Amino acid sequence: GCDGEALRQALAEQLPEFMVPARILVLEAMPLSPNGKLDRKALPVPEFGTSAVGYVAPRNDLERELAAIWTQVLQVERVGINDDFFELGGHSLLLTQVGMTLRNRLGVTLPLHALFELSSIQALASHLQAQRDNAPSQEAELELMDELLGELENL
């Protein structure tokens, strides 16, 4: 008997993250139609929207905003901060939507590869928070501009 999670782990060692299936269902046999072809309608539907990790609610405004975006894009009822985007049924096209929504709602631009790596709300929120904390404040930028202009005048 093959275990779906073991197969996912084996694939994860060989393939880039985005190519590893979020869920693998192991079937005893493929359902066949009377004429011997695969009966697609009889295939079981994988369970999405339930994470293997227990639900942990967003803890602050940023996490709540990100969870709201994911809930909307993934069309799931709720998203916990440790839930994995891909385990919830996400894929690269939906991730692109997340990226566009982040830019429109929060004014944040992240490359797609960064979004692939930051596949939980917690990881994404702490990355964005670190970016905000390290971003020079507007006052600091204005002071720097004044300083540079002053130096130019002295030339």
Lowest-pLDDT range, 27-31, 66-70, 131-135? 131-135
Whether 101 and 140 share a structural domain: yes
User: Do 12 and 78 reside in the same domain of the chain?
Assistant: no
Claim to verify: residue 6 and residue 36 sit in the same structural domain: yes
What is the DSSP track for 1-62? ---HHHHHHHHHHHS-GGGS-S-----SS--B-TTSSB-GGGSPPP--S--SSPP----SHH
Q: How much is the pTM?
A: 0.58
Write the pLDDT tens digit of every residue in 33-86. 999 998 988 888 766 555 455 788 999 999 999 999 999 999 998 999 999 898
Both 152 and 107 in a single domain?
Answer: yes
- Give the model's pLDDT for residue 99: 94
Residue 105 has pLDDT above 90, yes or no: yes
Question: What are the CA-CA distances from residue 31 to residues 25, 28, 42, 46 (Å)?
Answer: 13, 9, 6, 15
Residues 146 and 92 in one domain: yes
Cβ neighbours, 10 Å, residue 117:
14
pLDDT of residue 7: 85
- Give the position of tokens 């839930």: 83
